[in-house]
Amino acid sequence: MLRVLVIEASSGGVVGGSLTGLVHMIHGMDRTKIAPAIVLYEPKEIEADLGRIGVPVYHIFRRRLRKEHSLLQYDGYRRAKEVGGIRSALRLGRNFLRFGVEELPAALRLAQIIYQSRTDVVHLGNGVRANFDGIMACLMTRTPCVVHVKGFEKYSSRERWISSRIDALVPMTKAVEQHCAANGIHGRMTKVIYDALDESAYRPDREPAEVRADLGLHNGDPCIGVAGNIQQWKGQKVLVDAMAKVVEEIPAARGLIIGGVHRAGAGYHDELQKQIRSYGLERNVLITGFRRDIANVMNALDVVVHTSVTPEPFGRVILEGMLLGKPVIASAAGGVPELIDDGETGFLIPPGDSEALADRLVMLLRDPALRRRMGEKSREWARQKFSLASHVREMCALYENLTRRN
């Protein structure tokens, strides 16, 4: 039995795509061969699900330095920060402080958990920077580690130094792999493994008409939606701008913004509400808040939209929509173009381009046959290219390879 410890360091009070992907991976593991456990840096609502399938959950607390501090209010300090030598010295000092206050205590606690759980392989789910403490813990305990890179991170010399000591670097898309290579991040081995979705756990259990009624929507109204935590880079404003144009052509159209408010997105949430009111779209655009029944809500949509305004490494919501047989319109940046066959399984548009989004929405909402045809293709594409079984098989083969080498 191979004991795998998954470490997920996200914070912010929400369950994001990174943790969701790891939980689906755990669900897909052959429990006669793999014994998974998970470490979380804050309590998550998903723990109950993990408990039902017998996965041990550990918690650690990592102190986090504040990004904002009192010196920032002084003009002299802000000007000094722009001087090259001073900026470098401040960055070095902050790195030392972060190491001593945040990372070393967390690494020692993680090393203790690794020893106590007799872990064979550690799977770090948040990349090189966020999991620096986890990599150190693996070096302390001489435990093979897989670092799952799921973002376009900024890297410094310390990340480049420690990456060469990582046993396996696993970028989630080719775009992420290219970003790592361009920034000098190379593990002892690197392998792209696409994320996947557990389709068996993502099956709607209510009729779309019933869900629409609960949301206050008429069953016949054309309905589109974007799902994801509300924060600026997710670009929900782009959908609101597009809806202002869509309702001019299709007055009955409804748009849903589905997701909880990230702790960094409270101000953005307020801006969204003001934007909706300024367009007079209170009847046409609904912010649903966090939904536990996300599969039911997305299944009630006619079109799924992805609106990220910065390059996204993967875009899990795209795959969710495709598995539900929905046409998806997505921002063509980062790893997203690897998920969609443009014009066949969905449409790619320039990030932040509300006019292009509105044009594609009007086209799809006016053509039920096109929606149906594109949705069927997208479901088949997602099942073939992003199956959970394939994802788990590749990841477990990597674990076994590392333990043999170790």
Q: DSSP letter string over 203-267?
A: ---S-HHHHHHHTT--TTS-EEEEES-B-GGG-HHHHHHHHHHHHHH-TT-EEEEES-B-TT-HH
Instruction: Answer yes or no: do 31 and 165 share one domain.
Output: yes
State residue 86's pLDDT score. Answer: 61
Q: In terms of C-beta density within 10 A (0-12 exposed, 13-18 middle, 19 or more buried), how is residue 82 classed?
A: exposed
Cα 192 off chain centre by: 16
State residue 404's pLDDT score. Answer: 87
Instruction: Answer yes or no: do 284 and 172 share one domain.
Output: no
Q: What is the DSSP letter of 312?
A: B
* Cβ partners under 8 Å of residue 201, min gap 6: 24, 27
Task: Domain count for the chain, please give it.
Answer: 2
Structural domain of 167: 2-196+387-405
Say which CATH number the domain at 116 has.
3.40.50.2000
Calpha distance 386→394 (Å, rounded): 12
pTM for this predicted structure: 0.80
Instruction: Answer yes or no: do 373 and 349 share one domain.
Output: yes
Mean pLDDT by groups of 10 residues along the chain of 406 residues? 94 77 92 96 89 94 67 55 60 66 90 96 95 96 96 91 95 96 95 88 88 87 93 94 96 94 84 95 93 91 96 90 95 94 95 97 96 95 90 96 85
Calpha distance 68→333 (Å, rounded): 30
Calpha distance 156→234 (Å, rounded): 26
Q: Within a 10 A sphere around the Cβ of 272, how many other Cβ atoms?
A: 21
* Cβ partners under 8 Å of residue 381, min gap 6: 322, 341, 344, 345
State residue 182's pLDDT score. Answer: 96
What is the sign of the dihedral through the CA atoms of 18, 110, 389 and 48?
Answer: negative
Instruction: Answer yes or no: do 182 and 313 share one domain.
Output: no
Instruction: Answer yes or no: do 42 and 159 share one domain.
Output: yes
State residue 18's pLDDT score. Answer: 81
Instruction: Answer yes or no: do 181 and 243 share one domain.
Output: no
**Number of H-type helices and E-type strands within the chain:** 17, 12
Q: In terms of C-beta density within 10 A (0-12 exposed, 13-18 middle, 19 or more buried), how is residue 51 classed?
A: exposed
Calpha distance 402→406 (Å, rounded): 6
Instruction: Answer yes or no: do 254 and 184 share one domain.
Output: no
State residue 316's pLDDT score. Answer: 86
Instruction: Answer yes or no: do 115 and 257 share one domain.
Output: no
Instruction: Answer yes or no: do 237 and 179 share one domain.
Output: no
Q: What is the DSSP letter of 281?
A: -
Instruction: Answer yes or no: do 299 and 249 share one domain.
Output: yes
Instruction: Answer yes or no: do 379 and 399 share one domain.
Output: no
Contact 218, 287 (CB under 8 A): no
- Give the Å distances, CA to CA, from 358 to 146, 271, 355: 41, 21, 5
Contact 16, 230 (CB under 8 A): no
Q: What is the DSSP letter of 387?
A: B
Instruction: Answer yes or no: do 177 and 260 share one domain.
Output: no
